Amino acid sequence: MKKTFPILGVLTAVLLIYALYQGLVVAPTERTMGDVQRIFYYHVPSAWTAFILFFINFGASVVYLIKRNPAADIVALVCAEVGVVFCTVVLITGPIWARPVWGIWWTWDMRLTSTLVLWLIYVSYLFLRRFSSGGQTPTLAAALAVLGALCVPFVYFSIWFFRTQHPQPVMGGGGSIDPRMLHALLINWLAFSCFAFLVCWSRYRLEKLQREVDQAHAMQSLLDPSGSVR
C-alpha cells in the first residue's frame, strides 16, 4: 500500500505530460479558433472530472443517509472538495477561452450560469462542513449534496434544452471531431481522472487522520487528570 501511491503518482505524472504533449503538439490546430481552441483539452476534461466527482459525492451521501457509514461521509466530503477544485478550473479556463473567441469574458447564458450555480452549491456544502458544528452536520450536508447533484445533469443538458452561446457537447452533440483531437481529449480526461483519484486518495487519508486526531484529543480531554471538562 505504501509503495502503490508513489508508483501511481509517477505513472500519473507521466500520463499528464503525455496528455499535455498530445494537446499542444499532436492534436491539429482548429481552423477558425486557432491555437486558443487547445484550451478545450483542459477545460472539457476538468468539467467531466468535476461531474464524476459530484456524482460520487451524491452516491456516498445517499449511502451515508441510509447506513450512517462514516467512510461514506468522508468519501462524500473529499469528492465535493476535489470536485470544487476542478469546477473552479472550468469556470476560469472557460472565460479565458471565451474572450478571444466570443469577444467577452462572460455571458449569463444557461450553461455558464448553471455551472456557476453548481459551483456555488458545492462551495456552500464545503462551508457547511467547515463552519457548522454538531452531530447533524454530516446528515445536513448529505441532504444538500443529494439536491446539489440534481444540478449536474441540468448543467450538462442545458445546451440541448436552451438556446445558448456555448458549443454543443463533444459526446452525443451530433457534431464530428478529428480523431486526433478526440484522442488528445480522451487522454487528457484519463490523465486528469487519475490525478483526481490520487488527490482524493490523499485527501481521504488526511481526513481519516484528522478524525482520529480529533478523537484522541477528545479522549485526552476526558482523561485529563485535572478532571475539567472542556
Partner 1 sequence: MNGNPYLFAAYAVTWIIHIAYLGTIVRRYTRLRGEIEQLKKPGVRSSGNSD
- Of 39, 75, 110, 118, the one binding partner 1 (CB under 8 A) is 39
Burial readout 179-213 (b: 16 or more C-beta within 10 A, e: otherwise)? eebeebbebbbbbbbbbbebbbeebbeebeeeeee
Q: Note whether 42 binds partner 1 by CB under 8 A.
A: yes
Inter-residue contact 143 to 86 (CB < 8 Å): no
Q: Note whether 54 binds partner 1 by CB under 8 A.
A: no
CB of 219 to partner 1, least distance (A): 9
Q: Which is nearer to partner 1, 56 or 65 (CB)?
A: 56
CA within 13 Å, CB half, 58: 15
Q: Could you write out the three-class secondary structure of 63-125? A: HHHHHCCHHHHHHHHHHHHHHHHHHHHHHHHHHHHHHHHHCCCCCCCHHHHHHHHHHHHHHHH
Q: Note whether 99 binds partner 1 by CB under 8 A.
A: yes
Q: Which is nearer to partner 1, 168 or 220 (CB)?
A: 220
Q: Tally the residues of the chain.
A: 230
Q: Which secondary structure element, helix H or strand E, spans residue 170, and what is its range?
A: none
Q: Note whether 89 binds partner 1 by CB under 8 A.
A: yes
Inter-residue contact 188 to 42 (CB < 8 Å): yes
Q: Which is nearer to partner 1, 87 or 159 (CB)?
A: 87
CB of 179 to partner 1, least distance (A): 19
**Among residue numbers 166 through 195, which ones bind partner 1 (CB under 8 A)?**
195
CB of 28 to partner 1, least distance (A): 10
Q: Which is nearer to partner 1, 21 or 162 (CB)?
A: 21
CB of 87 to partner 1, least distance (A): 10
CA within 13 Å, CB half, 118: 30
> Residue 11: which residues within 8 A CB-CB, separation 6 or more?
194
Q: Note whether 214 binds partner 1 by CB under 8 A.
A: yes
CB of 59 to partner 1, least distance (A): 23
Applying CB under 8 A, which residues contact partner 1?
A: 20, 24-25, 29, 34-36, 38-39, 42-43, 46, 82, 85, 88-89, 92-93, 96-97, 99-100, 133, 195, 199, 202-203, 206, 209-210, 213-214, 216-218, 220-221, 224, 230
